[in-house]
Amino acid sequence: MVPFLRILGIETSCDETAAAVVERDAEGHSRILSDVVLSQLDEHSAYGGVVPEIAARAHVEALDELIEQALARANVSLGDVDAIAATSGPGLIGGLLVGLMTGKAIARAAGKPLYAVNHLEGHALTARLTDGLTFPYLMLLVSGGHTQLILVRDVGQYERWGTTIDDALGEAFDKTAKLLGLPYPGGPAVERMARDGNPDRFAFPRPLVGEARLDFSFSGLKTAVRQAAQEIAPLSDQDVADICASFQKAISRTLKDRIGRGLQRFKTEFPVAGEKPALVVAGGVAANLELRGTLQALCDKNGFRFIAPPLSLCTDNAVMIAWAGLERMATGAAPDALDVQPRSRWPLDSKAETLIGFGKRGAKA
């Protein structure tokens, strides 16, 4: 039996360029040998969001050096690596092309197998790396591009229980921040302002609260924020703080209802005794302390473990891509052919129906 497997991971799906080396032993224990991430925040902040062309160019300029750094910090050479894992989707197609083509070139030159990884699968499996979590469990993915509640049955086995029918939660934070004149990225800016605000000043809507289905909607909430801001313009700093606090409270109460129903469904479908079931949260919005507190309290009330990996592993990173590749190797899954193509849209649950209200190129969220 091979004592351990070692993978070089590459992540370029959006505006972080990342490379990492991770090991996994025969019992499933992991060790992060290196984790290098270069943020493009400065390049995009002037535009209030990620510019795909700028992101792709930045990946081209930085990726080779970051891979060299990752190998050096891990104190290994390419010859010591068993495989290459690169994000193949979903994401910005230009960035995906840069990372996947680089992974292909290294795999071909070094004679290593290639694993084209779904970025969302990286998020879904991270808690197994950090907390040794066993299947099945629930994952709430909340980021700029995704808001999904997913049942994680096993490696490669995912069931989407809920998704946004319009904006992702991170997108709602960013758009609200931009509307209020706050800097990009919007999530941290809104959270900072909310600390000094009155969360009860504005009664913002809580979309889909009370409905049996587990989907999310944030477009109407975003519209309500805009209308409130227009009605009291010009805005003082206290006005902005109050809007942010009220916005966060509406989000928190919405998640409490949506996720609470998901936890109840999980207990009904998996009524097993012994170890507590788990809810994992991932994505950049997972850094929000207000939302974390809501989810922690909800899990405590329903008898669930609440697992939030370290923030560096919740946001985009190459460690999770390497780990997803290692998980696939451990199942005996065959590597990908070198003609594998990037996919800007790539749902974890291929059987999930496209929602009518999700108007983004007809993709399955």
For residue 21, count other CB atoms closer than 10 A to its CB.
Answer: 27
The answer on 114 and 76 residing in a single domain is yes
Q: Which residues pair with 333 in a beta bridge?
A: none
Is the separation of the CB atoms in 153 and 159 below 8 Å? yes
Summarize the confidence of residues 224-228 as an average pLDDT: 97
Q: Which residue has the tokens 């994952």?
A: 139
pLDDT band at 41 (very low <50, low <70, confident <90, very high): confident
pLDDT of 1 over the 70 cut: no
> What's the CATH number where 300 sits?
3.30.420.40
pLDDT of 258 over the 80 cut: yes
pLDDT of 355 over the 70 cut: no
pLDDT of 57 over the 60 cut: yes
The answer on 321 and 256 residing in a single domain is no
The answer on 291 and 174 residing in a single domain is yes
Summarize the confidence of residues 21-41 as an average pLDDT: 92
The answer on 30 and 63 residing in a single domain is yes
Length of the chain measured in residues: 365
Quick: pLDDT tens for 123-134. Answer: 999 999 999 999
Quick: pLDDT tens for 66-98. Answer: 999 999 999 999 999 999 999 999 999 999 999
The answer on 305 and 201 residing in a single domain is yes
pTM value? 0.92
C-alpha 24/C-alpha 132 separation (Å) is: 12
Summarize the confidence of residues 173-186 as an average pLDDT: 92
- At residue 360, the pLDDT reads 39
pLDDT of 353 over the 90 cut: no
Summarize the confidence of residues 272-285 as an average pLDDT: 86
Q: Which residue has the tokens 């496209």?
A: 354
The answer on 268 and 177 residing in a single domain is yes
With a CB cutoff of 8 Å and minimum separation 6, the contacts of 210 are 257
- In the chain, where do the E strands start and end? 4-11, 16-25, 30-39, 83-89, 114-118, 137-142, 147-154, 157-163, 278-282, 305-307
The answer on 95 and 82 residing in a single domain is yes
Question: What share of the chain in percent tops pLDDT 70?
Answer: 96
Parallel/antiparallel/unpaired status of strands 83-89 and 114-118:
parallel
Owning domain of residue 25: 4-126+313-330
The answer on 160 and 303 residing in a single domain is yes
Residue 347 in domain: no
The answer on 280 and 170 residing in a single domain is yes
